[in-house]
């Protein structure tokens, strides 16, 4: 897809034209990843974080947030619940918490792999190469790390350095694209994504993001609207004005569907979730509309409600009061109402399997006689 086409679709407002985009994305999804909706059981194991991200409620400077860490036994109970519900994956997500040490996470991953057949996805923020390598050896299958925006100046404005590092280290900029490259070298299924509607984000910026998705061959891509927590520096829009008139990307539901659809067209064999943020914007049909406009993954929450309410990245998240069982029943019914079916097994990305196959062929071809 040409860049001009991407920008034209991002700016499109005609409902009839957008219906054409939705149909094309849905057909591309069906032809490349099928009709199954793969369910990933989400466990938010800690809301501690050393980052100072200007929009996130978990930021280290938020003194009003009650912090928690789940025990390994509590996490294992959630993993076993995932099996009970027929999920093929458990997603371990947290703030960037240094107390989730290399050793602790290695032991936890090994326990999950020993006690369950689940794929293990990690989403623990920016980590050192040796940690990522050890967790892969322990059995972790996937890693999610959003690069948030390909506009470096925009990224640096909303992501100040960590709160717990010396001044010399603070001057070093994070490089999430380099980390994604390391994850690929370690043979993880690699997931990333962006926020839509960051103050100052232009349509050109978002087109850059979508083009980058295709170039770095991601196996999972999650996109969602920019939702700012009120107890953060960026809650006051005067602190950082929007892009010039006519160029600011809106952080709304329709724009999110556009990016899901265009991502599907650019990356047809990639797994794409209909996110909780979509369900927050549209409680009645947000996830469903994402699933019929290019998405093929959903992430029901297994976090116990007493912790779930404290994992407040942004306010008014969908499904906060639900138990894991209620969330499972509700989401399964919604999927079946679309004429789709919950996925069976791990639900690995076809893009990942294709990359492995090509890699194996290259090894065989390059092997000396």
Structure tokens at 33: 């990843």
> Any idea what the CATH number is for the domain that residue 340 is in?
3.20.20.70
**Pair 154, 104: CB distance under 8 Å:** no
Per-residue pLDDT tens for 87-125?
Answer: 999 999 999 999 999 999 999 999 999 999 999 999 999
How many structural domains does the chain have? 1
Alpha-carbon distance of 73 to 300, in angstroms, equals: 20
Alpha-carbon distance of 267 to 209, in angstroms, equals: 12
Tell me, what's the pLDDT at 171?
46
CA distances from 327 to 302, 312, 320, 334 (A): 8, 18, 10, 11
Structure tokens at 64: 């009003």
Host H or E run for residue 38:
strand 36-46
Per-residue pLDDT tens for 255-290?
Answer: 999 999 999 999 999 999 998 888 888 988 999 999
Per-residue pLDDT tens for 165-178?
Answer: 555 444 456 799 99
Neighbouring-strand partners of residue 93: 44, 123
DSSP 151: -
Structural domain that includes position 252: 3-366
**Pair 37, 343: CB distance under 8 Å:** yes
Tell me, what's the pLDDT at 238?
78
Alpha-carbon distance of 237 to 109, in angstroms, equals: 41
Which residue, 182, 198, 196, 66, is CA-closest to 132? 182
- For the entire predicted model, the pTM comes to 0.93
How many CB atoms lie under 10 A from the CB of residue 363? Answer: 9
Alpha-carbon distance of 147 to 191, in angstroms, equals: 10
Alpha-carbon distance of 84 to 101, in angstroms, equals: 29
DSSP 248: B
């Amino acid at each position: 897809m040409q860049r001009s086409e991407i920008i034209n679709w991002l700016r499109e407002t005609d409902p009839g034209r957008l219906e054409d985009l939705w149909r094309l994305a849905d057909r591309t999804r069906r032809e490349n990843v099928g009709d199954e909706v793969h369910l990933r059981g989400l466990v938010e194991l800690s809301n501690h974080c050393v980052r100072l991200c200007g929009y996130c409620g978990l930021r280290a400077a938020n003194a009003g947030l009650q912090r928690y860490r789940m025990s390994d036994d509590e996490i294992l109970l959630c993993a076993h619940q995932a099996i009970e519900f027929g999920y093929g994956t458990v997603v371990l997500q947290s703030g960037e918490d240094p107390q989730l040490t290399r050793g602790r996470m290695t032991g936890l991953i090994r326990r999950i792999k020993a006690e369950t057949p689940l794929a293990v996805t990690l989403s623990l923020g920016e980590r050192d190469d040796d940690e990522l390598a050890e967790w892969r050896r322990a059995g972790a299958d996937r890693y999610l790390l959003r690069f948030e925006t390909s506009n470096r100046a925009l990224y640096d404005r909303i992501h100040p350095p960590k709160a717990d590092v010396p001044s010399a280290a603070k001057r070093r900029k994070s490089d999430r694209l380099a980390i994604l490259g390391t994850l690929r070298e370690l043979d993880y299924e690699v997931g990333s994504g962006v926020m839509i509607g960051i103050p100052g984000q232009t349509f050109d910026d978002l087109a850059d993001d979508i083009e980058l998705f295709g170039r770095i061959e991601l196996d999972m891509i999650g996109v969602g609207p920019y939702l700012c927590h009120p107890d953060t520096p960026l809650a006051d829009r005067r602190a950082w004005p929007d892009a010039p008139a006519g160029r600011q990307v809106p952080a709304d539901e329709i724009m999110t569907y556009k990016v899901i659809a265009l991502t599907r067209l650019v990356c047809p064999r990639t797994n794409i979730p209909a996110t909780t943020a979509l369900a927050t914007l549209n409680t009645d049909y947000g996830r469903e509309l994402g699933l019929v406009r290019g998405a093929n993954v959903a992430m029901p929450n297994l976090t116990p409600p007493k912790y779930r309410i404290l994992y407040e990245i942004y306010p008014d998240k969908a499904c906060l009061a639900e138990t894991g069982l209620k969330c499972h029943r509700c989401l399964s019914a919604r999927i079946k109402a679309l004429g789709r079916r919950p996925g069976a097994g791990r639900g690995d990305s076809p893009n990942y399997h294709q990359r492995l196959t090509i890699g194996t062929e290259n090894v065989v071809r390059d092997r000396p006689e």
